[in-house]
A and B are shown apart, each in its own frame.
Chain A
Amino acid sequence: MIAALILVVSVAAFFQFFLFYTRSLLAGARHFALSENVLEIIGIDGQMVQPAQFGRLLQLVELCPGPGNDDMGIRAVRTYFGGLGLLLSVVPRLPSGWIARAAAWIERERQACAYFAAAALDQRMAYSRTLLSNDSGS
């Protein structure tokens, strides 16, 4: 009985903490200004990084060598993005009053994930450029 209670409470708390933690990572990337290079590479037209670009951005991130200290954040955001995709498939089953609000919120979150991935790519590219310039300088 006690174990069942602990299980239920822990699962609820786990999802809540994970949500807050991932949003804190996304909030950290929010003020990051993307460089011209990254905008050009990811081919953004208009003013938004779209959720549909998330997968491609992560592929580019994986191709770009990094300092190795951002993997944990990228994995957490990737998991969150996957969870949001699952939620999106549940949205049509919600009461009609909730559908539009929930869909809009999920879309905003997915957009924040895509922006995080673009910022990670930008930072890795900057790191690679520094490495290259150090190599050519020495």
Chain B
Amino acid sequence: MNAGNYALWLLSFSAEVYILVRAFGSRQFLSYLSLNLFVAALALKDFTCFFAYQHYGLSSPQYAYTYYYTDALLTVLMYLAIMHLYHQVFREMHLGKYVRGVTVGLLVATALLSYLVVLKDVGHFTGRFVVELSQNMYFVGLVLTYLLWAAVFKLRETRTRLVQLILALGIYFSGTAGLYALRNMFPPLQQMTGSLIALLGTFLPAAWAYTFTRVPEGARLAPEVLAPEISSRRVPASTRLAAGTVTNR
């Protein structure tokens, strides 16, 4: 592990601990229970992987299996975090049980599909299975997050915190699913994709820490102002994003 990887690990772990301490300190742990549980699991995973690295080394099978299996378990908790965000967005429409059903169904279907895909390649069963499973689970996470984002747009959800939490999750899922797919297609790129996945793994807690710290609970933002306006149609001044006008305080 080089200095860069150490720095990423340290940054990621610090951001996760910061989110949890802040949630306890501001008495918001229960308000974002699933997200906080996920962050706690993320911190535990980072710690476990670091422990496996220290004892067995980065290229050992022990480290690899610790990494991929804790990652797969973590993705399940990530689904719970997404469910929480769905609940937040749909809370006034009482669709909770449908959201739960669809999420659990997708989770089972993904694991089954991954199992079937690698079943024919029994020789490399375990190693390929974890990469295939991670790729598919992150992709399903991406689809769920994309649908959630579409719902945010459709329902005109304006809570800035919620919007930023969802978008950071979208970046994380899409980036990680893409990198796992790249690795699945070109196994020699394993080292490069591994570093980029670690970078994305640092991005998510850092982005959430940023949101919880910098965006007040009551902040509002109309999601339509986030869509790029390239056409010649004029956007009402009240909703235009373009900044730069200086207001003296």
Contacts and interface: CB of A to CB of B under 8 A. Distances in A.
Interface of A: 2-4, 6-7, 9-11, 13-14, 16-21, 23-30, 33-36, 39, 44, 47-50, 69-70, 72-73, 76, 101-102, 105, 108-109, 111-112, 114-116
Given A6-B181, A10-B175, A35 B249 contact: yes
B123 interface: no
A10 B139 CA distance: 8
7 nearest interchain CB pairs? A10-B178, A17-B170, A108-B242, A14-B174, A115-B243, A7-B181, A21-B167
Nearest to A12: B174
Contact of B210 (A33, A35, A48, A69): A69
A127 to B, nearest CB: 13
A21 to B, nearest CB: 4
Interface residues of B, number: 51
B230 interface: yes
B246 interface: yes
Nearest to A113: B243
Given A14-B175, A24-B160, A69 B213 contact: yes
A10 B143 CA distance: 9
B207 interface: yes
B210 A4 contact: no
B204 to A, nearest CB: 10
A87 to B, nearest CB: 11
A112 B167 contact: no
Nearest to A44: B246
Interface of B: 117, 135-136, 139, 142, 145-146, 149, 160, 163-164, 167-168, 170-171, 174-175, 177-178, 180-182, 184-185, 203, 206-207, 209-210, 213-215, 219, 221, 225-232, 241-249
Given A17-B167, A23-B226, A105-B228, A69 B246 contact: no
Given A33-B247, A39-B246, A47-B246, A6 B219 contact: no
Given A3-B135, A6-B139, A13-B170, A39 B244 contact: no
B226 A4 contact: no
A97 to B, nearest CB: 10
A14 B182 CA distance: 14
A112 B245 CA distance: 9
A7 B185 contact: yes
B171 to A, nearest CB: 5
B248 A34 contact: yes
Contacts of B227: 20
A72 B230 contact: no
A18 B209 CA distance: 17
